[in-house]
Amino acid sequence: MADVRIAAAAFDVGSEFAALTQSRTDIGGVGCFVGTVRGAAGGRALVALTLEHYPEMTERALAAIAAEAERRWDLLGCRLVHRVGRMVPGDPIVLVLAASAHRQSALEATAFLIDWLKTRAPFWKKESFADGTETWVDARESDDEAAAQWGADQAAIC
Amino acid sequence: MADVRIAAAAFDVGSEFAALTQSRTDIGGVGCFVGTVRGAAGGRALVALTLEHYPEMTERALAAIAAEAERRWDLLGCRLVHRVGRMVPGDPIVLVLAASAHRQSALEATAFLIDWLKTRAPFWKKESFADGTETWVDARESDDEAAAQWGADQAAIC
Amino acid sequence: MSDGRPVRIRYFAWLRERLGIGEEQIELPAGVATVNDLQLWLRQRGPAWDTVFAMSRTVRCAVNQQFAGPDVAVNPGDEVAFFPPVTGG
Amino acid sequence: MSDGRPVRIRYFAWLRERLGIGEEQIELPAGVATVNDLQLWLRQRGPAWDTVFAMSRTVRCAVNQQFAGPDVAVNPGDEVAFFPPVTGG
């Protein structure tokens, strides 16, 4: 039921929402999260963000994350879109949509999906700054903690 | 900063998202919730949902709810759209958008906004069924409980 | 105490339908100083009014577009609204 | 034990950049049976390799596109990937 996609080009939030909900009368609520590229990091001006991924593994990982959300909540639809390649500030990076009959499931599943996606899908961010330097983004402990609150099975991650 | 609106016509999720995020490079995450009309209630087929409201009070109530969210979280944008009048199954009823530098604030504020909106804004739903009967929707205790988890100041409600 | 300015009363959702009235203007009756006083006064209008306002758990109120409890004051010129618990969103 | 089929090794993000290689195919070396064995074997290739794989807290692994801990088996024909902790979303 879930629909996961890696996108090289920018996606359109309205189109993704429409694709999930069109002609559906069983859905009562749709939760959504969109992550976007910020124009600064650590106080320095950012000119681009480049997302590298592990192509053969990425869609499998996204599908597994969506399947886990569908196992935990009674979802009527689930959609994950993640961009790869070069993006500029203001661009959307990632979209999570979770539809359910009731709002609580939709919103909880949305939070779960983005938390797991941040810690369990093989993407890596590189920041390009206005001064010409480039840095790979460090993983954040707060992301691990956010993911762990869902009872994440950390044994699966080496 | 918040943008609240009562709408007689259907709204477009993509346009609302664009209006909040366009030309912004400070936003890192946008949380969103869209409530939609379901095609059945209590096992009976629904043909329409009619939203009545208290016009002079509604925008004031929505603005107060948005202001409370902005007080509690470091939001970079907040948008509430609520429809009134007659809707059919599949139609969007309500839209909540909350933007922040980080995802947790955006998602928490989104959940807060819809919980408070359900218990603190003067809207009333009437269901019209396929068999010709009409019923005013009863308030749900679960909605009061969801709102109370945010430390809602229930003294303000008689 | 009335200073001549009326109180505007509004009814919404099933209260409006059961009472058959969406709004009215009244001279503030003698002895009516609070939301609770006004409800008691309205109940005396007849069986439909008595029945609706007897459901105190399911009748909410706003004074001048702010949610208001039974002890909130009602003054000449105020707008008072009665309605069921809200069900939007 | 090698049955002649190679192991495909892939490197991502800063591991790829520091090692100067995105992927390679190797004959499974004698004595290498797990992810940990493979890392120890790769460290012997030189200072850059030793340095990168010494950062065990910041090197993650997948075997056949599944996250894998140090004790997971590596067999001929497998695809093994090394990369930093993920930072998507």
Q: Do C12 and B124 touch (CB under 8 A)?
A: yes
B119, containing H or E segment? helix B103-120
CA B149 to CA B27: how far, in whole Å? 27
Is the pLDDT assigned to residue D57 strictly greater than 80? no
Is the pLDDT assigned to residue D12 strictly greater than 80? yes
Q: Do B53 and C61 touch (CB under 8 A)?
A: no
Q: Do B138 and C83 touch (CB under 8 A)?
A: no
Taking only the tens place, the pLDDT of each residue in D61-79 is 999 999 999 999 999 999 9
Taking only the tens place, the pLDDT of each residue in A13-32 is 999 999 999 999 999 999 99
ipTM of the complex: 0.92
The pLDDT value given to residue B158: 36
Chains A and D touch, using 3 or more CB pairs below 8 Å: yes
Q: Do B136 and C14 touch (CB under 8 A)?
A: yes
User: How far A137 CA sits from the closest chain D CA (Å)?
Assistant: 7
User: How far B6 CA sits from the closest chain A CA (Å)?
Assistant: 19
What residue of A is the nearest CA neighbor of D18?
A136
Residue D43 vs residues B3, D27, D51, D55: alpha-carbon distances, Å? 57, 16, 8, 11
The pLDDT value given to residue D17: 96
Mean pLDDT, chain A, integer: 94
Is the pLDDT assigned to residue B157 strictly greater than 60? no
Q: What is the DSSP string of C1-58?
A: ---SPPEEEEE-HHHHHHHT-SEEEEPPPTT--BHHHHHHHHHTT-HHHHHHHH-GGG
Q: Rg of chain A's alpha carbons, rounded to an integer?
A: 16
pLDDT band at residue A155 under the 50/70/90 scheme: very low
Q: Do A103 and B114 touch (CB under 8 A)?
A: yes
Q: Cα-flanking dihedrals φ and ψ of residue D59, to 5°?
A: -110, 125
What subunits touch chain C, counting only 3 or more CB pairs under 8 A? B
Is the pLDDT assigned to residue B103 strictly greater than 80? yes
The pLDDT value given to residue C4: 80
The pLDDT value given to residue A141: 85
CA B5 to CA B63: how far, in whole Å? 9
Q: Is A70 exposed, middle or buried (0-12, 13-18, 19+ CB in 10 A)?
A: middle
Give the 3-state secondary structure of residue B154: helix
Question: For an interface test with A, which of B76, B107, B117, B142 has the most A Cβ atoms less than 10 Å from its Cβ?
Answer: B107
Mean pLDDT, chain B, integer: 94
Question: For an interface test with D, which of A36, A124, A126, A127 has the most D Cβ atoms less than 10 Å from its Cβ?
Answer: A124
User: How far D29 CA sits from the closest chain A CA (Å)?
Assistant: 22
The pLDDT value given to residue C55: 80
Residue B137: DSSP 8-state: P
Taking only the tens place, the pLDDT of each residue in D32-52 is 999 999 999 999 999 999 999
Taking only the tens place, the pLDDT of each residue in C22-58 is 999 999 999 999 999 999 999 999 999 999 999 867 8
Contacts of A151 (CB under 8 A, 6+ apart): none
The pLDDT value given to residue A154: 41
User: How far B110 CA sits from the closest chain C CA (Å)?
Assistant: 13
CA A68 to CA A113: how far, in whole Å? 9
Chains B and C touch, using 3 or more CB pairs below 8 Å: yes
Mean pLDDT, chain C, integer: 94
pLDDT band at residue A140 under the 50/70/90 scheme: confident
Is the pLDDT assigned to residue A156 strictly greater than 80? no
Is the pLDDT assigned to residue B124 strictly greater than 60? yes
Query: What's CA A62's distance to the chain center, in Å?
Result: 9
User: How far A107 CA sits from the closest chain D CA (Å)?
Assistant: 17
Given CB atoms, is B25 within the 8 Å cutoff of chain A? yes
Q: Do A60 and D65 touch (CB under 8 A)?
A: yes
Return the closest-CA partner of residue D19 out of D40, D46, D38.
D46
Return the closest-CA partner of residue B151 out of B37, B61, B72, B43.
B72
Q: Do D67 and A94 touch (CB under 8 A)?
A: no
How confident is the model over B3-13, as a mean pLDDT? 96
Task: Determine what percent of chain A is predicted with pLDDT higher than 70.
Answer: 96
CA A66 to CA A109: how far, in whole Å? 9
Given CB atoms, is B121 within the 8 Å cutoff of chain C? yes
Taking only the tens place, the pLDDT of each residue in B40-79 is 999 999 999 999 999 999 999 999 999 999 999 999 999 9
Q: Which residues of A touch D66 (CB under 8 A)?
A: 57, 156
Range 13-42 of D in CB contact (< 8 A) with A: 13-14, 35
Taking only the tens place, the pLDDT of each residue in A83-124 is 999 999 999 999 999 999 999 999 999 999 999 999 999 999
Q: Do A125 and D88 touch (CB under 8 A)?
A: yes
Q: Which residues of B touch A24 (CB under 8 A)?
A: 36, 90
Is the pLDDT assigned to residue C1 strictly greater than 60? no
pTM comes to 0.93
CA B116 to CA B104: how far, in whole Å? 18
